[in-house]
Amino acid sequence: MKRLFDFAVAAVMLVVLSPVIAIVAVVIKLTSKGPAIFAQTRVGWHEKPFKCLKFRTMQVDTPNVASHQASTAWITPVGRFLRKSKLDELPQLWNVLLGEMSLVGPRPCLPTQEELVAARRRLDVFSVRPGITGSAQLAGLDMSEPQRLAVADRQYVDERSFAGDIGILFNTALGKGSGDAAGR
């Protein structure tokens, strides 16, 4: 049921939000050099790597590091707004359509975040698809605390429910949660 819900919501949102997606892409192209979409390899379901899509919020020459390791100086002026509003996440709806992600789940990490990957592997967090949003983000946890995040992610896996996911989506839409560390 979760996969069907994810697919249906992502498909509808991509259609309904296509004007917003187009406008954001044009604004990014007009205000900074480089592509509007940023694709970064992340660790997915059953530890399968995938290309996570986001609107580019940083300068094109930014090192490939986790958000909590990124300098705020690398974020473009438009990128600050996109991160704060969470609009930078909209391209991930395509990842949801492809089955690489879910609307709700543990946020996908970089393969280079070895401590987090190991902790999630130990706790079997990779048994679920990563999500665009999740309970850990609403609780203000980011990837700078890998052990604590992995435990929170496991708690989500153990307690997940359709109603719980709806609540997480609702709270995310209301702007709750701290987002990522580089956007603070």
Instruction: Give, in order, the Cα–Cα distances in Å from 1 to each of 43, 106, 142, 162.
Output: 23, 18, 28, 9
d(CA 28, CA 15): 20
Q: For the chain, where are the E strands, in sequence order?
A: 37-43, 49-55, 102-104, 131-133
- Whole-model pTM: value is 0.89
Two tokens, residue 43: 């660790």
CA distance 87 to 20: 9
Cβ–Cβ under 8 Å, residues 141 and 148: yes
| pLDDT confidence of residue 87 | 94
Of the chain, the end-to-end C-alpha distance in Å amounts to 35
- Condensed to tens digits (0 to 9), the pLDDT of residues 132-141 reads 999 999 998 9
Closest CA to 57 of 94, 83, 34, 84: 83
Ranges under pLDDT 70 in the chain: 63, 65-66, 68-71, 178-184
Instruction: Check if the beta carbon of residue 43 is closer than 8 Å to that of residue 117.
Output: yes
The reported pLDDT for the residue numbered 183 is 47
pLDDT at 61 (0 to 100): 78
Domain ranges within the chain, ordered by starting residue: 2-179
Q: Provide the angle, in degrees to the nearest 10, between the axes of the packed helices 2-16 and 162-173.
A: 20
Residue 130 pLDDT: 98
Region for 52 from its dihedrals, namely left if φ exceeds 0, alpha if ψ lies in -120 to 50, beta otherwise: beta
Confidence (pLDDT) at 177: 73
Helix (H) or strand (E) holding 167: helix 162-173
Q: Which residue type sits at 180?
A: D
For residue 44, the model assigns a pLDDT of 97
